[in-house]
């Protein structure tokens, strides 16, 4: 038998009960000292390593742990500090590190965007043509030595590769790529050389950019980069790690001068397997086979996976060149199932979080090394648990399946054209030019969160909790009235999360107690589990929206989360197609939209902030996904009357790629972020004649800073150079749930003032 090793690619940072998040936020709030904070996170970091060692993982990563984001860590490691944050310090201080991520009173935060097609956000490195990278401090060496000294573990350091780092950065011209790469490579070599000297045997270099299409120039850059690195550290073994999809240029990639290649056999399974079958795999390299799903929460079918792994083993088993790994870092899944005590037993038995996935990795490696008989009990249990879920009533709702079967192929359509609807709605709402609104949520204060806890624990009655929510709603309706906002929202004080809230009220969903994952910084989300057929049970939002509307003569938007976002921000069943799950959710939302319209809520926002993030990484798969997304959105929204105004919201998207899709959604108003990207998104509309309503996000809500009137005016004025003033709305980039009232109210006051001043300028211009 071969000695097959188990390896992990990355472990969740947040802790079983979000201890990491709590430490971060206490430090930011000044409640604990820097020393206490650093001691706390060190204890957490070492506990994660010890847990992996106890599970039996052979190759344990370091460098995956971060105080905010691993891409930011890599940028800071190489001195890629935006000019507005630079100082004389060679080693970047903790204060500067967090300022880059979060902004400060003097400077805007760096842009944040999705990590490939996941719901994890990374901080976008800013590099200019003149940037001179330098090594600040070899953090990887510190972490390697810490694990070795404190726990006696020789770990596998992990670093984002130079080409992925540059390709995900912004601010430099394409023709400077080679120069910047040449400047980075000696620094990578220095970092790796110091690790080699300290006793490191393997280093994992993450190059997920390889799963995207590569030009000949890109492949030449990879050859040049890894030739340089390997020649600089000839004794250190390099694992070139890819994930999230298959690599198109398989023949070229597996011949790069590295000692191992990591491939995703979950999300890139068919193409990666076909490439190995067609071209083989180099006998002098390790194949790190990502066969345990690093992004979803279902148990691995150990029997089927073991059979797949056996096909990957070299004919000469003495080579021992196979590792068993997750398909990606386990950053994207919760920590452990062990703390979940309230779930239906059929569902619970089918779940696998990070710790359980590592047990699966170790079990599969054992099965390959010692034979299937050595893991027979585990194989049998995984098969039985998955079969029990599949045969349960949860996945066999005949009424839902009948509705799905009756859907046609034609896109659902609104009764009237946009031009007709625009006039009907203008007459109905009588809004001023550049109407102001917000995206939906207002600050979830300590009091709001405590009230929800009291109610959930049974310490408050339903009536007491409802009265509290009504009081908060009334307070913020009045605040919006006083600020002069034109279209109001009820504030969503009853909602814990924009997806979880709906999942709790729909059939087919389940919820964990501690199933948290990191979204960005200390922001953690607890995705619902879509484990059965989805259906509408009763109105979910009508009571709160109708109450808010009763308090004001101004329009109040009903607020829903769209089908694609609910899908993309949930852990989703994988036994039926994505399109079918989209449409199950859309049919449920359609009933809710109808209920809002029946309650005389005439503006309804169906948010799709996650539409683009689910876009497949392969060009060939994008059109199908976008068609299915448009179909499900229109299924939920297009039946409404012409005088019902449908809004949607999208954030942190590169819209130029999907502008046709945005148009095809046929919403009356789409709100987009502009401030976090410093207005760059507006360029998309210079090339596309978009005639429907656009809500322009003029301030970044992910930073605590309060933007000035002039700053917000600048985004509006830039937009009006390419957009008809009749279609432009003014709003924040995103919801205000995570901000404090003392940040929110002054910022909204400035936003309203900015809109008023731009209106005046437009009026004066027209009058001349």
What residues are designated binding site? 18-21, 114, 119, 439-441, 492, 523-524, 569, 607, 613, 649, 651, 673, 734
User: Is the Cβ–Cβ distance between 39 and 23 less than 8 Å?
Assistant: no
Residues 278-294: b if buried by 16+ CB within 10 A, e if exposed: eeebeeebbbbbbbbbb
User: Which residues are 62's β-sheet partners?
Assistant: 157
The burial of 409, by beta-carbon neighbours within 10 Å (0-12 exposed, 13-18 middle, 19 or more buried), is given as exposed
Nearest Cα to 511, choosing from 540, 531, 541? 531
- Supply 701's token pair: 């809500």
Are 352 and 297 contacting, i.e. CB atoms less than 8 angstroms apart? yes
285 sits in the region (left: phi over 0; alpha: psi -120 to 50; else beta) called beta
Residue 156 in contact with residue 62, Cβ under 8 Å? yes
Contact 666, 418 (CB under 8 A): yes
Closest to 496 measured CA to CA, from 542, 531, 448: 448
Angle between helices 177-197 and 216-232 in degrees, nearest 10: 30
Binding site for L-homocysteine: which residues? 439-441, 492, 607
Please enumerate, by residue number, every residue annotated as part of a binding site for Zn(2+). Answer: 649, 651, 673, 734
Annotation: binding site for 5-methyltetrahydropteroyltri-L-glutamate: 18-21, 114, 119, 523-524, 569, 613
Residue with tokens 């010890």: 50
Q: Which residues are identified as catalytic?
A: 702
Distance (Å, whole) CA 548 – CA 529: 31
- Stated as kind and residue range, the H or E segment containing 469 is helix 462-483
Sequence ranges of the binding site for L-methionine: 439-441, 492, 607
d(CA 124, CA 677): 10
What is the 3 state secondary structure string of 114-153? ECCCCCCEEECCECCCCCCCCCCCCHHHHHHHHHHHHHCC
Q: In a 10 Å sphere around its CB, with 0-12 CB exposed, 13-18 middle and 19+ buried, how is residue 419 labelled?
A: exposed
- Of 571, 665, 647, nearest to 611 by C-alpha is 665
Alpha carbon distance 627, 664 (integer Å):
9
């Amino acid at each position: 038998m071969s000695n097959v090793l188990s390896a992990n690619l990355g472990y969740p940072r947040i802790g079983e009960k979000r201890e990491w998040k709590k430490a971060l936020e206490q430090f930011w709030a000044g409640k604990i000292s820097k020393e206490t904070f650093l001691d706390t996170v060190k204890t957490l970091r070492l506990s994660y390593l010890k847990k992996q060692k106890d599970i039996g993982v052979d190759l344990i990563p370091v460098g995956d742990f971060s105080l905010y984001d691993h891409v930011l860590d890599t940028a800071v490691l190489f001195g890629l500090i935006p000019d507005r944050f630079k100082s004389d310090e060679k080693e970047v201080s903790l204060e500067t590190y967090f300022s880059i991520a979060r902004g400060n009173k003097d400077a805007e935060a760096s842009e944040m965007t999705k990590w490939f097609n996941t719901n994890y956000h990374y901080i976008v490195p800013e590099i200019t043509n003149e940037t001179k990278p330098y090594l600040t401090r070899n953090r990887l060496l510190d972490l390697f030595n810490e694990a070795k000294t404190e726990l006696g573990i020789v770990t596998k350091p992990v670093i984002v590769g130079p080409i992925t780092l540059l390709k995900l950065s912004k601010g430099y011209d394409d023709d400077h790529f080679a120069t910047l790469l040449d400047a980075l490579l000696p620094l990578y070599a220095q970092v790796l050389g110091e690790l080699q000297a300290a006793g490191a045997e393997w280093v994992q270099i993450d190059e997920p950019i390889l799963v995207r299409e590569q030009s000949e120039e890109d492949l030449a850059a990879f050859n040049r980069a890894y030739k340089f690195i390997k020649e600089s550290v000839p004794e250190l073994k390099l694992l070139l790690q890819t994930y999230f999809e298959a690599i198109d240029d398989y023949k070229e990639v597996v011949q790069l001068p590295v000692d191992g290649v990591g491939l995703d056999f979950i999300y890139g399974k068919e193409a990666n397997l076909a490439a190995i079958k067609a071209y083989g795999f180099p006998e002098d390299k390790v194949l790190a086979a990502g066969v345990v799903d690093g992004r979803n929460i279902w148990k691995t079918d150990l029997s089927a996976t073991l059979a797949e792994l056996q096909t990957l083993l070299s004919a000469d088993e003495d080579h021992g060149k196979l590792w068993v790994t997750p398909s990606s870092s386990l950053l994207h899944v919760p920590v452990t199932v062990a703390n979940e005590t309230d779930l239906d037993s059929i569902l619970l038995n089918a779940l696998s979080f990070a710790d359980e996935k590592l047990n699966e990795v170790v079990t599969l490696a054992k099965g390959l090394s010692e034979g299937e008989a050595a893991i027979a009990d585990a194989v049998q249990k995984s098969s039985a648990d998955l079969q029990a879920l599949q045969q349960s009533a949860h996945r066999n709702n005949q009424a839902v399946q009948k509705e799905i079967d009756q859907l046609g192929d034609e896109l659902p359509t609104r009764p009237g054209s946009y031009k007709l609807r625009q006039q009907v709605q203008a007459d109905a709402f009588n809004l001023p030019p550049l109407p102001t609104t917000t995206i939906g949520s207002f600050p979830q204060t300590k009091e709001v969160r405590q009230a929800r806890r009291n109610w959930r624990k049974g310490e408050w009655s339903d009536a007491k909790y409802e009265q509290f929510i009504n009081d908060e709603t009334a307070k913020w309706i009045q605040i919006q009235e006083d600020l002069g906002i034109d279209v109001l929202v009820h504030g969503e004080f009853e909602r814990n999360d924009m997806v979880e809230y709906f999942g709790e009220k729909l059939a087919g969903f389940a919820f964990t107690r501690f199933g948290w994952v990191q979204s960005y910084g200390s922001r953690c989300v607890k995705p619902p589990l879509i484990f059965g057929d989805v259906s509408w049970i009763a109105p979910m939002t009508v009571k709160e929206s109708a109450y808010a509307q009763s308090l004001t003569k101004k329009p109040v938007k009903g607020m829903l989360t769209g089908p694609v976002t609910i899908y993309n921000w949930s852990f989703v069943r994988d036994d039926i197609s994505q399109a079918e799950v989209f449409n199950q959710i859309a049919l449920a939302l359609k009933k809710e939209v109808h209920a809002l319209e029946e309650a005389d809520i005439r503006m309804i926002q169906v948010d799709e902030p996650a539409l683009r993030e689910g876009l497949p990484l392969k060009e060939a798969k994008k059109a199908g996904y976008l068609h299915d997304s448009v179909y499900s959105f229109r299924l939920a929204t297009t039946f409404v009357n012409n005088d019902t105004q449908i809004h949607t919201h999208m954030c942190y998207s590169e819209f130029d790629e999907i502008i046709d899709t945005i148009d095809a959604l046929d919403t009356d108003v789409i709100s987009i972020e502009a401030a976090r990207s410093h207005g760059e998104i507006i360029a998309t509309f210079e090339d596309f004649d978009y005639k429907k309503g656009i809500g322009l996000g003029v301030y970044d809500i992910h930073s605590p800073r309060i933007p000035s009137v002039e700053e917000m005016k600048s985004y509006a004025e830039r937009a009006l150079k390419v957009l008809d003033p009749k279609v432009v709305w003014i709003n924040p980039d995103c919801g205000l749930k995570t901000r404090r009232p003392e940040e929110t109210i002054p910022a909204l006051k400035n936003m309203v003032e900015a809109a008023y001043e731009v209106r005046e300028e437009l009026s004066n211009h027209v009058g001349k």
